[in-house]
Chains A and B, each alone.
Chain A
C-alpha cells in the first residue's frame, strides 16, 4: 500500500532538496571534523628548529567551535547554501589560524616561527573537497565565496604571522623576481613549443612518413629532467664558448638552404642535418625570448662567443630548451590527433566545393582541430609550470629557487613559499585555458 497524497510528496521533495546529505559533502565534513582533532600549528624557536604541535583547542577563542558547527551544517545542507557556508567555513578557518599564530607567538622571541601542521592541511583538503561538491549545485556561490573569503582573510592579515608568509615578507623582492622569472621561463617554453609543435603536428598528420616524429617526442618525454640537464650542460658549454654569434646565425641560414637541397636527395640525411641546427635555433630563441619576457636583460653581442649573448651551459638557455622539449609532446600529439579526427567526409566536401589545399587547411581542418590543439597547449602549460621548478637546479631561477633553498636549509616554510604559488599558477592557467576551450567550442557550435 503506497498511498501518498500529492501534498506530502511535494513536501518530501522539498525536504530532500534542502537537507539530503550529499556523499561528497559528507566526506568533506568528515575530513573537516577529523582535522579539528589533529594538531594544526607547530611552534618552533627558529625557522629550522624542531617544533611543538598545537591543536585548535590549545588556544583560547571560539572560532574552533564555530568551524565545528559549520562542518556539521555543511554535511546536511544542500543547494546554493552550501557554497555560502563553505565561504564562511573558509573564513572561520583563516581566522582560526590567525588567532592561533598570534596566540602562539605572543611572549616568544623574534626568531620564533609558526608553521602549518597536519590538521590545518587536512582541513584545507576538506574545504577543497567541499567545493567540489558545492560547485555542482550552485556554481555562482561556490565560485564566488572562495576568492571573497580569501581576499577578506588576506585583508584582515589572518596569515601574516604564519611561517611561509613571514618568509615571504623577508624575501619579498626576490619573490617577485623569481615569480616573474618562473612565468617567463614557462611562458617562453610553451610559446616555443607551440611555435614548433603546431607545424610539426601538422606535418606528422599530413603523411604517415613522419610518424617517427611522435616516437622521438615520446622518447624525449621519458628522459628524466636532471639527466637532460646533465647531457645539455657540457655540450652547450662547449658550443657557447666556441661558436660566435654571427657564425651561429650564418650556420642557421645556410642550414635552411642546405636542408632544401638535401631534402630532394635524401630525406633522412636532411633531417639528420636539421636536428642539431634546430636545437641550436631553439636554444637561442629560448634564451632570448626568456630575456624579453622576464626580468633578466636581453644581451646580443656580435663578434663574440654565444655566451656573451646569454647562452651558456647553465642558466636560462638549457632550462628553456629542456622545458620546450618536454612541452612538445602534448602539443604535437594533440595537433596530430585533432587533425586526424577531422572527418574524411568533411574534408572531401571541402575539396569538392573547390577549396585549395591551403583553404581546406585554414577553413576546415584547423578550426575543427582547434579545440583539441588548445587542450594540448593546456596540458603543456600546466606541465611546464610544474617542471620549471627544476630550472633552479641549473641556476635559471624561478620559484624552484625557494624550494631548493628551503630543502637545503631545512626550512619547510621556505619550501612552501615556492610550492604554493606553483600549484596556484598551474591551477589558474589550467582553468583559464579550459574556460577558453569551452568558449571556443561554444562559439564554433561543436
Chain B
C-alpha cells in the first residue's frame, strides 16, 4: 500500500533521511520507532508530500506520489501532526468536520459523521461537540486530533506521536482504544513513536530507525528476539525479554485445573508479561486464570512462562 524506495532527504549538507526503503502492506499498522531526530517525522511527511524527498520515490497504492496532486492526496489520508494542531477558532465538531468539508460533504452528513467519530474516540458528542480546543485537556485534544484524522474514513492514516502529550495511564487507555478501533477498521497505519513499549504493544511491524536509516524492520517478536545490529540491541535495552512476554498471549500457556487451587488469579485476556509480574509480586509459582465472568478456568506456571521465553530465544 505504501512503499518507500531509497528515499533520501537532505537539508543542505545534513542528511535527514539516508536512503530508506520500506513497504507497508494494506491494513497493517507499522510504527516508525527511534530516538529523537532520527527522521521519523520527515519520513512520514514524504507520504503526503508535505516534504518532497531529495532522491527516491514514495508509492501509495502503487502510484508515485509525485504524480498526484498534493492537496488531493492529503485529503485522502488521515493525518495527526506531532503537535496536535487543532484549529483554535473552531469548535471540536468543526475541527473534526474539516476534511469532510474540504471534500464537499453535505452539512448533515458531515455533522453526523463527526459526532460518530467523537463517540468512537470516547468523547461524548453532547458534551464536547461545542467546546473549543482551549477547553480540552491534553488527552482530550489528542482524541479530537485522532477523530479529525479518521473523519473522512481514509484508507491510510499517518499518525505522528498521536499519544505523545499524555500521562502513561491515559496513554495506555488510548492505545487500547486505538487497537480496538484498528481491529475493526483495518486501516493502513504509519504510526510514529519513540516509545518502545508503545511500539511493541500496537505494531504489526516495527521500523526501527537511527540517523535517517532503517536499522531493522520486523514484527515486534522478531525484533525483540533477534536484534540485527548493536544499535537495535542497545535501543531495546535489557528489558527486551520482558517486553517479549507482553507479545505472548496467555491463551497458549494455560494448563487445566488440578486439585491445587491457587490463591491469586488473573483474567484470561491478560498477557504473559502481566502473568509474570503478578507471579513475581505474589511470590507464588502458580497462578489461576479466570474467564470474563470471573470463574477459574485454568492455571499458569512460572516454569511454563520461563520455558516460553527461552523456547523463543532458541
Contact = CB atoms under 8 A, between A and B. Distances in A.
A355 B74 CA distance: 8
B86 interface: yes
Nearest to B85: A349
Interface string B150-189: 0000000000000000000000000000000000000000
Contact of B74 (A346, A352, A368, A445): A352
Tell me what chain A mostly uses at the interface: helix, strand, loop, or mixed. Answer: helix
Nearest to B135: A445
Interface string A332-374: 0000000000010110111111111001000010011000000
Interface string A119-150: 00000000000000000000000000000000
A350 B81 CA distance: 10
Which 9 pairs across A and B sit closest by C-beta, in order of nearness? Answer: A349-B85, A354-B75, A354-B74, A445-B132, A345-B83, A345-B85, A352-B79, A444-B89, A367-B89
B87 A349 contact: yes
A446 interface: yes
Contact of B88 (A351, A352, A445): A445
A352 to B, nearest CB: 4
Contacts of A343: 85, 88
Interface residues of A, number: 19
B21 to A, nearest CB: 24
B209 interface: no
A355 B85 contact: no
B98 interface: yes
Tell which of A349, A353, A367, A445 has the most Cβ of chain B within 10 Å.
Answer: A353
A156 to B, nearest CB: 49
Interface in B167-220: none
A241 to B, nearest CB: 52
Interface string B84-116: 111111110000001100100000000000000
Contacts of A346: 85-88
A35 B91 CA distance: 54
13 contacts: A343-B85, A345-B81, A349-B84, A351-B50, A352-B74, A352-B79, A353-B74, A353-B75, A354-B72, A354-B74, A354-B75, A368-B88, A445-B88
Contacts of A364: 87
A352 B50 CA distance: 7
B98 A353 contact: yes
Contacts of B91: 445
Given A343-B88, A346-B88, 6 more contacts: A346-B85, A348-B50, A352-B81, A364-B87, A368-B88, A445-B91
Interface in B34-70: 48, 50
Nearest to A359: B102
B34 to A, nearest CB: 21
B48 A352 contact: yes
A364 B50 CA distance: 18
Interface residues of B, number: 25
Nearest to A371: B89
Given A355-B102, A445-B91, A345 B84 contact: yes
B69 to A, nearest CB: 10
Contacts of B83: 345, 348
B71 interface: yes
B148 interface: yes
Tell me what chain B mostly uses at the interface: helix, strand, loop, or mixed. Answer: loop
A15 to B, nearest CB: 39
B66 to A, nearest CB: 17
Tell which of B75, B76, B89, B90 has the most Cβ of chain A within 10 Å.
Answer: B89
B85 A356 contact: no
Contacts of A355: 71, 98, 102
Contacts of B50: 348, 351-352
B259 to A, nearest CB: 61
Given A359-B102, A445-B132, A353 B88 contact: no
A242 to B, nearest CB: 51
B88 A446 contact: yes
A354 B85 contact: no
Contacts of A348: 50, 81, 83, 85
A176 B8 CA distance: 72
A350 B89 contact: no
Contacts of B73: 354
A345 B83 CA distance: 6
A353 B89 contact: no
A351 B74 contact: yes
Interface in A394-446: 444-446
Nearest to A368: B89
A200 B83 CA distance: 30
Contacts of A349: 79, 81, 84-87
Contacts of B134: 445-446
B132 A356 contact: no
A54 to B, nearest CB: 59
A96 B72 CA distance: 74
B79 A353 contact: yes
Contacts of A350: 85, 87
Contacts of A367: 89
A445 B89 CA distance: 6
B89 A446 contact: yes
Contacts of A351: 50, 74
A346 B81 CA distance: 9
Nearest to B103: A354
Nearest to B102: A354
Contacts of B72: 354
Tell which of A349, A352, A355, A446 has the most Cβ of chain B within 10 Å.
Answer: A352
B196 to A, nearest CB: 26
Contacts of B74: 351-354
Nearest to B154: A354
Tell which of A349, A364, A446 has the most Cβ of chain B within 10 Å.
Answer: A349
A187 to B, nearest CB: 29
Interface in A180-233: none
A370 B171 CA distance: 36
B114 to A, nearest CB: 13
Contacts of A356: 71
Contacts of A359: 102
A354 B154 CA distance: 12
B129 to A, nearest CB: 13
Contacts of A444: 89
Contact of B71 (A354, A368, A446): A354
A354 B99 contact: yes
Nearest to B48: A352
Interface string B109-151: 0000000000000000000000010100000000000001000
A289 to B, nearest CB: 32
